[in-house]
Amino acid sequence: ILDGMLPLTQLQKLVGDTGATFANSFVASPLCCPSRSSILSGQYVHNHGAINNSVSGGCSSPGWQAGPEKESFITHFQKSGYSTFFAGKYLNSYGKPEAGGVQHIPPGWDSWLGLVGNSRYYNYSLSVNGTKEKHGDDYSQDYFTNVIRKRAYEFFNTAPRNKPFFMMLSTPASHEPNNFEPKYAPKFSNMTAPRTPNFNIPNGADKPWLLRQGVQHLSQDVIDIVDDVFRARLRTLLTVDDMIKDIFDILKEENIIDNTYVIFTSDNGYHMGQFSMPVDKRLPYETDIRVPLLISGPGISAGSIIKYATTNIDLAPTFLDLADLQIPNSMDGISLKPLLLGEEKEIRAEENVPLYEVLNKNLPFEQEKKEDKVDYNKKNVEEYRKSIWNDRAFLVEHFGLGAGKGENPGCENVPAGLVGCKPSLDCKCKDSFNSTYACIRQISISTDNVFCNWYVGEEFQEYYDLQKDPFQLNNTVKTLSTEAHHGLLHHLETLQNCAGDSCKLPEYDVNYI
C-alpha cells in the first residue's frame, strides 16, 4: 500500500487488466519464512510450525521437512502428472547443514533451483537439483532475478510438451539488500517514501512495547535512509516486471497463454517510517500485512476487482482447485476459485464446526452455547455457506525474537529483549521477545476492523476500526463494551486453536450487542 505496485506496469497490463485484482489480500504472518510456509502448506503458522526465520524456529527444519513439506500443494501437482519447476528463494534457512544442506530437494519439484539462505542478489549459492552452484558479483552473469528468468527459459525449452506444468518463480526483490540493476539507477530519483498520517509519529501508551522503545521521532538522517530504501525497492521491482513480460512472451510463443493461470503475490508487506519504525515488516499494521494478489487465466473476467478478504493460506487450496485437484483436509485456507470464476459452489463445509458457532455467531459469549437459540434448518446453514466471503474473520500471527543486553553491536544501551537494532537507524529495533501477538482481522460489507492480543511479557491489546481510522492512529480497545471485548477474544482464541475446516470462521460483530 506504499506505492509498491508503481514499477509493475507490465504486471498490471498482463495480469491485472486481463484478470482479477484482490483489493483485500493479507498474509497469515508478516515475516518471510512463516508466510512462505503458509503459502506452501495452506496452513496458519500455529499448524505448520515455522514460527520464525531460523531452523530452531521451524524454518526448513527437520520437523517441517518431515511434516508439512511432504504435504505441500506441489506434491499433489507432481502426483497428478504435472511438470514442476521452482527457482528462487524458498525458505530463509534452506540449505543450511542442520536443514539437510543443498542436497535436500523439497518433495514435489521435478526441477529445483533453490537459493541457500536469505535474499541475495550477488554472492550467493544455489542448490541446482541438489548440487551446489556458487555465484559471484558479475552483473551480467550473477544478478539473481535475471538468473531466475534465464532458468525459467530453460525449463520451458526442456519441459515435456504433452504434460501440464506448474512453475514458481520467487525473486529476491524487493527484499534487502535491494541491489538493483545499474540501468535502473536513475529511476524514481525524485520520489520519497509516502508521508502517510502515521509517518514518523511518536508512540504513547496505546501502542505496544516494541514501538515505545528508543527514539520517538526519526532523525533526518534516518528519514533519508528510509527514502533511499524506498527508491531502491522500486528499482529492484523493475527487473521483476521485465521478467513477467518475458514469461508472458514465452507463453504466447508456445500458444498456451489461454490455458495458463498466472498468480502474483508477496510474502509480506513493509513499513517505511510509519509509527517512527524505520524499515522492516513483522508488525500487525496494514503496511505489513497487506500484499498484492493478482490472478489471470481462463474463465476470469478481465479487469475484475474482488473486494472480499483473502489471506495467503488460501493460495494452496486455490492452486489445487484451479487444477481440479482435491484439497486436503489439513489445509486451513479456502479456495478462491469460486470468486475467480463466479461458480455456484459451497465454499465452506460445516461438519467439524458446532452449529451454534455458525448460526449464533453474534450472540454474547454467555449465550453462544445455549443450543435452544439455534435454528438448525438447512436453509440457514446454506445461506451462511454462501455468505462466508461477505463475512470473514482470519488470523495474523507473529512470534517475536529478542537478544540479551549488549548483543546489538553499536546499540549496546538498548534494553534487553530487542533485536535487529542498527546505529544507522538510531538503534530503533525491528523485533523483541515480547513482540508476540495474534490478531483477528475482519472485513465484511459493513465491517473493517482488527483486534490484536500481545501475550508474552507485557500483556497488551489493540483494536482499530479501519473504516474510521484507516491509519491505525488511535487504539480504541478500551472503548469496547465488555461483551464485544469478550466476544473478540473468544473468537481470536478459537482461531489460534483451529485446524482445517474449523479455521473458517465468520466475523464477530462488535456492534451486535
- Concatenate the DSSP letters of all residues of 385-405 into one string: HHHGGGEEEEEEEE------T
- Residue-level pLDDT at 389: 52
Residue 398 pLDDT > 50: yes
Selected residue with higher pLDDT from 345 and 450: 450
- Residue-level pLDDT at 345: 40
Q: Kindly report the CATH number assigned to the domain that includes residue 248.
A: 3.40.720.10
Phi then psi for residue 452, to 5 deg, are -125, 140
Residues 148, 171 contacting (CB under 8 angstroms): yes
The whole-number average pLDDT for the span 395-405 is 91
Same structural domain for residues 240 and 145? Answer: yes
Domain presence at residue 426: no
Same structural domain for residues 187 and 80? Answer: yes
Same structural domain for residues 132 and 261? Answer: yes
Pairing outcome for strands 279-280 and 271-272:
antiparallel
Same structural domain for residues 254 and 382? Answer: no
Torsion of CA 277, 283, 287, 290, to 10 degrees: 170
All cell numbers assigned to 129:
537439483
- Residue-level pLDDT at 40: 98
Same structural domain for residues 121 and 260? Answer: yes
- Which of the four pLDDT bands, split at 50, 70 and 90, describes residue 450? very high
All cell numbers assigned to 40:
506452501
- Cis ω before 335 (30° cut-off from 0): no
Same structural domain for residues 183 and 121? Answer: yes
Question: Could you tell me the CA-to-CA distances from 66 to 60, 61, 69, 330, 487 in Å, in that order?
Answer: 10, 9, 7, 15, 37
The whole-number average pLDDT for the span 350-368 is 34
The whole-number average pLDDT for the span 360-387 is 38
Domain presence at residue 323: no
The whole-number average pLDDT for the span 427-438 is 95
Domain presence at residue 408: no
Same structural domain for residues 103 and 181? Answer: yes
Residues 312, 396 contacting (CB under 8 angstroms): no
Residue range of the domain that includes 91 = 30-37+46-294
The whole-number average pLDDT for the span 206-221 is 94
Of 166, 187, 268, nearest to 230 (Cα)?
Answer: 187
Domain presence at residue 153: yes
Of 231, 261, 294, which marks where a domain is finished? 294
Domain presence at residue 63: yes
Mark 159-176 as b/e (b = at least 16 C-beta within 10 Å). beeeebbbbbbbbbbbbb
CA distance 459 to 442: 22
All cell numbers assigned to 475:
487504539
Question: Could you tell me the CA-to-CA distances from 122 to 115, 137, 145, 177 in Å, in that order?
Answer: 11, 5, 10, 10
Of 255, 279, 294, which marks where a domain is finished? 294
Percent of the chain with pLDDT over 90: 81
Residue 230 pLDDT > 70: yes
Q: What is the tens place of the pLDDT at every residue in 64-99?
A: 999 999 999 999 999 999 999 999 999 999 999 999
Same structural domain for residues 154 and 72? Answer: yes
- The catalytic position among 32, 59, 411, 452 is 32
Residues 290, 1 contacting (CB under 8 angstroms): yes
Q: What is the spatial order of strands in the sheet that 20-22 belongs to?
A: 262-265, 293-296, 20-22, 304-306
All cell numbers assigned to 320:
489445487
Range of lowest pLDDT (28-32, 230-234, 373-377, 413-417)? 373-377
The whole-number average pLDDT for the span 399-410 is 87
Domain count, the chain: 2
The whole-number average pLDDT for the span 288-293 is 98
Domain presence at residue 74: yes
With 0-12 CB in 10 A as exposed, 13-18 as middle and 19+ as buried, what is 377?
Answer: exposed
Q: Which helix or strand (DSSP H or E) is residue 441 part of?
A: strand 437-444
Same structural domain for residues 266 and 368? Answer: no
Residue 343 pLDDT > 90: no
Q: Is 32 annotated in the active site?
A: yes
Mark 323-361 as b/e (b = at least 16 C-beta within 10 Å). bebebbeebbbbbbbbbbbeeeeebbebeebeebbbbbb
All cell numbers assigned to 243:
521478467
Torsion of CA 39, 45, 50, 51, to 10 degrees: 130
- Alpha carbon 182 to its chain centroid, in Å, reads 29
Q: Report helix, strand or coil for 308.
A: coil
- Cis ω before 354 (30° cut-off from 0): no
Long-range contacts of 368-374 (CB under 8 A, 24+ apart): 368/490
Transcribe 89-125 into DSSP letters: ---TTTT-GGGT-TT---TT-SEEEEESSS--SSS-E
Of 255, 278, 294, which marks where a domain is finished? 294
Same structural domain for residues 277 and 353? Answer: no
Sign of CA dihedral 178, 201, 464, 49: positive
- Which of the four pLDDT bands, split at 50, 70 and 90, describes residue 510? low
Q: What is the tens place of the pLDDT at every residue in 237-279?
A: 999 999 999 999 999 999 999 999 999 999 999 999 999 999 9
Question: Could you tell me the CA-to-CA distances from 213 to 210, 216, 428 in Å, in that order?
Answer: 6, 8, 7
Percent of the chain with pLDDT over 70: 89
Same structural domain for residues 162 and 63? Answer: yes
Residues 38, 396 contacting (CB under 8 angstroms): no
What's the mean per-residue pLDDT of the chain? Answer: 90
Domain presence at residue 125: yes
Q: Kindly report the CATH number assigned to the domain that includes residue 355.
A: 3.30.1120.10
Same structural domain for residues 67 and 179? Answer: yes
